[in-house]
Amino acid sequence: MEKVNNKKSWLVILSLLFVSALFWILFLKNSMDSLWSFHSVKVNPSYILTHDLKGIIIDSKKWIEDVDKYVQKDSVKALVIQINSPGGVVGPSQELYEFLKKVRDEYKKPVVAYSGGLMASGAYYTALGADKIVATPGAMIGSIGVIMEFLNLEGLYDWAKVKRFSITSGQFKDSGAEYRSMRDDEKALFQSLIDDVYIQFKNAIKESRNLSDQTLQSYADGRVFTGQQALDLGFIDEIGVASDAFELAADLANVSDFEIYKIPKEKPSLLDLLPLGGSEEDSEAHGLSKVAYQLLRADLVAQPLLILPGYWGLERSY
């Protein structure tokens, strides 16, 4: 019996040592990678920094922090944003737009936005903060407009024999609730929100693209353009591929010999590598609830969105 207990003790000790060693290996590797990447930008006198903006724009904080850490370095001469996004939430899209303007105007670093796939709605709003916008001729550009979706689950609640109600402090406090139909005065209220954000979007376009009110009136109606159509209408600056975007950024920065520096992806933490508890049934239930959540798009309901409908299932950006 004593031998069995000793054996278990040794197994526990060895397991703890293994976890501890794994932690320190990952910690030191991440530290060295970060240290190398942080200082490597200083090696060459001219770098073009690049970072991807992919998926639905939900939160801008981490993206901005990642770029801001590098773009202020003297060795970084310009920034190229590679976009493949249908847009997303209004606030983060506007924050990204303002940040690119800051890089351009305050840091005095040229910014080029490039897309070889999708640059729609909030993603296009973001790109307006750049000095130049480049896209492939077949890229999908535009979808200038605002959308706000709501859930109405009255029928589902009736089927489940569930009654929901609320007690509020004002007539609009539960506006948009999923358990009842929307009144006309509530629809008018939400329409006013949509209209205000739409005006903000169009003003950003006029400031960045110098387009006439007539052009915006004719084409800023939610439609999507090809890259070539967007160029012909004045919504982008050039047709090209990624290498053209980098060359343009170098020209704007007045550098001829440069290297491209891509912001490194974060390494997984120790917690990401360790298995978590829970039964197979729990995992299946979580998977089903996640699918239902995404089908209902519950995280994007009842808020103004700058997004191209039909792309809700894409990965979330940051």
C-alpha pair distances (Å), 229 with each of 142, 169, 218: 10, 50, 14
**Could you tell me the two tokens for 193?**
């929100």
Distance CA 165, CA 177 (A): 9
Beta bridge partners of residue 51, listed in sequence order = 81
Check if the beta carbon of residue 231 is closer than 8 Å to that of residue 238.
yes
Distance CA 38, CA 73 (A): 10
C-alpha pair distances (Å), 306 with each of 83, 102, 120, 215, 239: 15, 21, 8, 20, 24
- CA neighbor of 191 nearest in space, from 225, 250, 150, 235: 150
Distance CA 127, CA 119 (A): 8
Catalytic one among 121, 143, 208, 317?
121
Catalytic one among 7, 42, 62, 173?
173
CB atoms under 10 Å from CB of 70, counted, come to 20
Sign of the C-alpha dihedral computed for residues 98, 103, 100 and 317 taken in this order: negative
Distance CA 246, CA 230 (A): 20
Q: Is 173 a catalytic residue?
A: yes
Instruction: Return the residue matching tokens 């004719």.
Output: 218
Q: What ranges make up the beta strands (E) of 154-215?
A: none
Distance CA 303, CA 88 (A): 10
Residue 222, CB-side half-sphere exposure with 13 Å CA sphere: 9
Q: Which residues are catalytic?
A: 121, 173
